[in-house]
Amino acid sequence: MTRVALIAHDDEKPEMIDLAQSYESTLSEFDLVGTGTTSKRIMAETDLTVERKESGPMGGDTQIGAEVAEGRMDGIIFLRDPLTAQPHEPDISALLRICDVHDVPLATTRTSAEYILDGLVRDEADD
């Protein structure tokens, strides 16, 4: 089953909720994982089930990065706030780097997220 991580900085959580609602039928076919608050909000506002990791500042980004390194992640949707400094920026940079190293698609905007989700659906259909 396709495994996708959903992560959003605080100012981007409303956009992530909107994305999850718009793509709910697609996302329901995936094995979803996400950071703490993002996962909690998605599950509260949709019928999706999301495996909750720690919040980003508490190590959730690192936990997801470990899954990338283990070959267990097919895509990451990480709606980042580029205008606000994050206290766990080294963890964020490590996640971005590990996705590059392991060639795992990573979206940081709504538009790129839609492209990745549509691509993952096509990949599943081809298998």
Cα–Cα distance measured from residue 104 to residue 11, given in angstroms and rounded to the nearest whole number: 25
Among 61, 91, 100, 127, the one annotated catalytic = 61
SS3 20: helix
Cα distance between residue 43 and residue 58, in whole Å: 20
pLDDT at 76 over 90: yes
* pTM score of the predicted model: 0.94
> pLDDT-derived band of residue 91, with 50, 70 and 90 as boundaries?
confident
Query: What local confidence, expressed as pLDDT, does residue 127 receive?
Result: 72
Predicted pLDDT of residue 102: 98
Annotated binding site for substrate: 9, 13, 35-38, 55-56, 88
For domain 3-126, is the CATH number 3.40.1440.10?
no
61 given a catalytic annotation: yes
Q: What residues form the annotated binding site? A: 9, 13, 35-38, 55-56, 88
Whether 123 shows a pLDDT value over 80: the answer reads: yes
Contact between 32 and 51 (Cβ < 8 Å)? yes
Domains of the chain by residue range: 3-126
Query: What's the pLDDT score for residue 18?
Result: 98
Tell me: the pLDDT tens digits for 44-55?
999 999 999 999
Q: Which residue has the higher pLDDT, 27 or 84?
A: 27
Q: Does residue 84 or residue 26 have the better pLDDT?
A: 26
Two structure tokens written together for 115:
């492209």
pLDDT at 124 over 90: no
- The 10s digit of each residue's pLDDT in 105-117 is 999 999 999 999 9
